Chain A
């Protein structure tokens, strides 16, 4: 596979469930990101990992728990979510080449999450 992949593509979960979103990048990048995309809102950055270390947590509620075991994989563990957490969750990666100018992000197709 190439690029950035995300699984599952669609997820429906109850508020008491625990689930995980998975992201994998095949681009040799060193930075990975989670974004939340809700209707009529800007893309919201949730977390940034740089060389497996979390460098940004954008005041995300603790019911979202990220995990980055290596530079190619990123997870988002979900538990006791609320209906307002329903959104498209996008994963992205970037090279962090040392030249920020070149660090455009490559996005996965997203996971459409519905919390019932």
Chain B
């Protein structure tokens, strides 16, 4: 069975603070893909990043960075110097590749509130 856990339901930070959103996943697939999506108040999920199971390099994109650790089955997302526009719900997702299906498993999301 595949599962994604985002234990943090809601996080509030003050602007310019750094914040880390946690994601822990479970899968028996040897090949799998991990994703982060942002859902602003408008409702549309916006793709942020993908990672495959063979690439444990961390990635940085501007103020965003991702830490993928297979040993702990985690794929955490850090926003540096947060801004009010970062306020949204963030979803972590997993797609196993061994079965050849296109089924994505999403976590329950973490609501981030950045206060001015």
**Contact between B102 and A42, CB atoms less than 8 A apart:** no
- B102 engages A55 (CB within 8 Å): yes
Which of B44, B50, B109 neighbours the largest number of chain A CB atoms within 10 Å of its CB? B44
Give every chain A residue within 8 A of B108 (Cβ-Cβ). Answer: 40-42
When the two chains form their complex, are residues A109 and B42 in contact, meaning their CB atoms are under 8 A apart? yes
What CA separation (Å) do A3 and B5 show in the bound complex? 29
Q: Is the CB of A90 within 8 A of B47?
A: no
Residues of B within 8 A of A92 (CB): 45
A25 within 8 A of B: no
| Interface residue stretch chosen among A11-19, A63-71, A76-84, A99-107 | A99-107
Interface pair B44/A103, CB less than 8 Å apart: no
B47 touches A105 (CB 8 A): yes
Contact A106 B47 (CB under 8 A): yes
The reply to whether A110 and B4 contact each other, CB–CB distance below 8 Å, is no
Question: At the interface, yes or no: A88 with Cβ under 8 Å from chain B?
Answer: yes
Closest beta carbon of chain A to B56's beta carbon, Å: 15
The 6 closest A-B pairs by CB, nearest first: A43-B106, A107-B45, A109-B44, A110-B43, A104-B47, A109-B43
